[in-house]
Amino acid sequence: MAGELAERDVLVRTAGTYAPGRRWAEVRDGDRAAGLRASISDGRLESVVEAWTRAMPVLLAVLRGETSATVLLDDPELSPESLTDALPGARACLERTAQALQELAQGRPEPLAVAEWGTGSGRTAVRLLDALKPGTVDYLLLTESASRRTAADARLSAAGHPARTALQTAPGIPEARLHRFDAVAVNDALHGLPDPYAVAAALPLLLAPGGHLFLVARVAVSPLGLPAGRTGDRLDAGQWADLLAREGLTDVRRAHTEPDGAVLLTARRPPDAPRLDAATLRQQLAERLPAHMIPGTLVALPELSLNANGKVDRRRVQELLTSGAEQPGASCDPPRGAVEETVAELWAEVLGVPAAGRDANFFVQGGDSVLATRLVTGVRRRLGVELPMRQVLRAPTVAAMGALIERLRPGAGVPDADGRASEGYSEEYEEGAL
């Protein structure tokens, strides 16, 4: 926050410390402050000023360097999420977003897949879901911290709509979310995103071909959220539009502008854009690599990080891949159909964990080659299907494994005395190599 005051000539930075700047006396003038307070009396900003007044001890501690400004990110009144939720223009833009989502959902045989790249505890999600008909969307809220995810779970549980949450702390997109969503919503009305450039690069990885983006921004950068201490870049609506176009999205336009400066931007991922299919990629890898080199989980990065010498920063790339990978228990979409339910039950028995969601990854959940062997035995016993080990590596999720079993079922035959299906599969693999 001190850096922002320095940009406005209220403070000046010298020798690593801050001192009063050219406008210090002006902003501290009592008569000026009284006049400003009178001008907003009974207006929408009065509650914000009152909240700042109550938080003055914390604000002073931030200015003195005694505490981090990030404590305000979870403040019930002064966080960017709370302030945004109080802005009429931002709420109006969300209402229009909900109307557009409802139109997209009409006539579909299954719910519209919607993701929100969030920065808070679910207030935007609740506003959108409250304006939608029940059962029309499959909603996933991506949050940046465990504490906000917990708060979002509590808030969404009382919203009357089925919705899931997941952590998204890096631009890496795990395969379960890759090109999966028909629509993505982002609320940046008060610049709550810590790195808008990274978010913009990741959005095309979430959107399915032809998918729609709805982003709330502002005509000009607002100082209203400054006390929350975000240190990253803040973009206005024009900068957001240029950035989205550079990332390959089309039909970028200002769909609506409110009197208070809130703007609803819309864009699309081209309908003919490629869709990366994890199963196809694993099939191609299996044709070229030994079984133990086929990755158990896939993460898509918008770009490879470079070091100061312009070469790939392998350590940073590894960090992004690790943080972007699906975490155990992250998938909440339940299994579909009897086969997937049986596979999930077998996973629970073999791994010793609660039943997994359909997008959970066997190896991320703790599986290895020894446990995979037990899983193959369980599938043979319960479903009468012999799963080749190489195929297990290619289909590490409940959904993919269920589809594989369905595909092999008609010709699998009855296992013979040697435990092989009548068609006979010969798979060589080294125990513990996964």
The answer to whether position 318 is within a domain reads: no
The answer to whether position 80 is within a domain reads: no
Rounded (5°) CA angle 78-84-90: 165
Integer-rounded Cα radius of gyration of the chain = 26
Closest by CA to 389, choosing from 432, 353, 422, is: 432
- Would you say residue 193 has pLDDT above 50? yes
The answer to whether position 421 is within a domain reads: no
Residues 178 and 213 in one domain: yes
- Do the bridges between strand 250-257 and strand 207-218 make them parallel or antiparallel, or are there none, so unpaired? unpaired
- For position 429, what pLDDT does the model report? 38
- For position 34, what pLDDT does the model report? 82
- For position 292, what pLDDT does the model report? 65
Residues 246 and 223 in one domain: yes
Q: Which residue is listed with tokens 């997937």?
A: 340
The whole-angstrom separation of Cα 169 and Cα 132 is 28
The answer to whether position 37 is within a domain reads: yes
User: Tens of pLDDT along 229-285?
Assistant: 555 678 999 999 999 999 999 999 999 999 989 999 999 999 999 888 877 887 788
Lowest mean pLDDT segment, chosen from 142-146, 223-227, 383-387: 223-227
Q: Which residue is listed with tokens 């223009």?
A: 89
Closest by CA to 434, choosing from 393, 401, 403, 399, is: 393
**Residue 45 or residue 193, greater confidence:** 193
Lowest mean pLDDT segment, chosen from 199-208, 236-245, 358-367, 384-393: 358-367
Contact assessment for residue 291 and residue 160, using Cβ atoms and an 8 Å cutoff:
no
Domain end marker among 69, 98, 124: 69
The answer to whether position 372 is within a domain reads: yes
The whole-angstrom separation of Cα 295 and Cα 286 is 10
The answer to whether position 125 is within a domain reads: yes
Q: Which domain holds residue 21?
A: 2-69
Residues 159 and 233 in one domain: yes
Residues 164 and 93 in one domain: yes
Non-local (6+) Cβ contacts of 368 within 8 A are: 432, 434
Residues 209 and 94 in one domain: yes
- Would you say residue 100 has pLDDT above 50? yes
Residues 111 and 176 in one domain: yes
The CATH number of residue 366's host domain is 1.10.1200.10
Residues 97 and 65 in one domain: no
Question: DSSP state, 11?
Answer: E
- Would you say residue 357 has pLDDT above 80? no
The CATH number of residue 94's host domain is 3.40.50.150
> Into how many domains does the chain fold?
3
Question: Quick one: pLDDT band at residue 92, thresholds 50, 70, 90?
Answer: very high
- Would you say residue 1 has pLDDT above 60? no
Average pLDDT, the chain: 81
Residues 188 and 145 in one domain: yes
- Would you say residue 293 has pLDDT above 90? no
- Would you say residue 114 has pLDDT above 70? yes
The answer to whether position 62 is within a domain reads: yes
Domain end marker among 69, 94, 113: 69
Residues 332 and 252 in one domain: no
Average pLDDT (44-48) is 72
Residues 245 and 289 in one domain: no
Closest by CA to 92, choosing from 230, 206, 262, is: 262
Residues 110 and 239 in one domain: yes
**Residue 43 or residue 195, greater confidence:** 195
The whole-angstrom separation of Cα 294 and Cα 392 is 11
Lowest mean pLDDT segment, chosen from 154-168, 216-230, 391-405: 216-230
The answer to whether position 225 is within a domain reads: yes
Residues 136 and 262 in one domain: yes
